Amino acid sequence: MTASRLLRLSLAALLCTASAAPVAFAQASPQSAAKRSAQDPDLQAAIAKSNAYTALANRTLRANESWGRYKSWVDLKRGPTGKERYISYGLYSLYDVKSEIEKAQAATAQPPAQPELDEIVKRFIAAYEELAPLITRAYRYYDRKDYTGDGAAEGRELHVKMVPAAEAFLRERAVFDTQLNAFKKGIDTRELAAIEAAEGRSARWQLRNIMFNARGVMDAMPSNDSPIVDLKAFDAALASYAAAIKEMDAFKDKNQSGVPMIESSAGSWLGSLRDFREKLAKSKGDVRRSAANDANRLVSSYNMMVSMSDSAARMIR
């Protein structure tokens, strides 16, 4: 889901929504969602709203990445001088999110009503639309090396505007992610039950169960604001994810086709999580002292799994 990018090998590169390695959300497959929820219009409506919001959240991660790129070389308090060693890194260009914004805005007025989530989506869109043009201008400025001709004057002008806009965007992003995650958990639980009732613990169920529990692990991971992991919560999430992998293995033993695309990555991720847990034990849960790089890699691997799960969902019939 996330593009290749320069990542600081520090706490700033953790999965916090304000970091350079933000976390993607998994979407329900439109085809399978319609198929499963034909007898439950309320669930179908919730999935449609969730997918609209998820698409917006994932597509706008590029703004987090671009801001993280900028922060990797500039002094945020002083602003650019034109003499920074890595000034040529500049920022990343943003994706076109017009369609995602339109669909998310429409979803705020559609059932099921989610007052807090619907309101934060509106605020998040406003914050993004304030920041995005500034990032686009800054991307062009640094990509074309215009700072070599004006002593970084325009860069400093942009910096003064970008910092408060980025801070506002990241604040709204954090609330949006929290609200969306809570909404999706409820839907995922209902969706798993609906699949099992209709198909048993099928390949579709296995896929959703793996990603549901993988997201639970991500929720227990450290962040910039909380760099010390709650080991008890992490262990519980890890145990649930391990159980989902065992379920997948048992399904594979009885069904040769297994769960397409994601089996190997999901299993390897479990091994990496256990290595990460061992390092956390040595530092009493403080990721800054032992495992910041590992956390960064786990986030990147998770985001790849999200992308693969989307493709796998389309393959399962």
**What is the residue type of 281?**
A
**What is the residue type of 103?**
K
- Alpha-helical regions (H) of the chain: 30-36, 41-59, 61-71, 98-107, 115-143, 147-150, 153-199, 203-219, 231-254, 263-282, 292-315
Q: Which residues of the chain are under the pLDDT cut of 70?
A: 1-39, 317
> Is this prediction's pTM over 0.85?
no
Q: What is the pLDDT of residues 266-303, one digit of tens each?
A: 999 999 999 999 999 999 999 999 789 999 999 999 99
What pLDDT, on the 0 to 100 scale, is given for residue 290? 79
- Cα dihedral 35/39/42/44 (nearest 10): 10
What pLDDT, on the 0 to 100 scale, is given for residue 283? 93
Closest CA to 14 of 231, 195, 188, 220: 220
What pLDDT, on the 0 to 100 scale, is given for residue 249? 96
What pLDDT, on the 0 to 100 scale, is given for residue 310? 86
DSSP state of 1: -
What pLDDT, on the 0 to 100 scale, is given for residue 9? 25
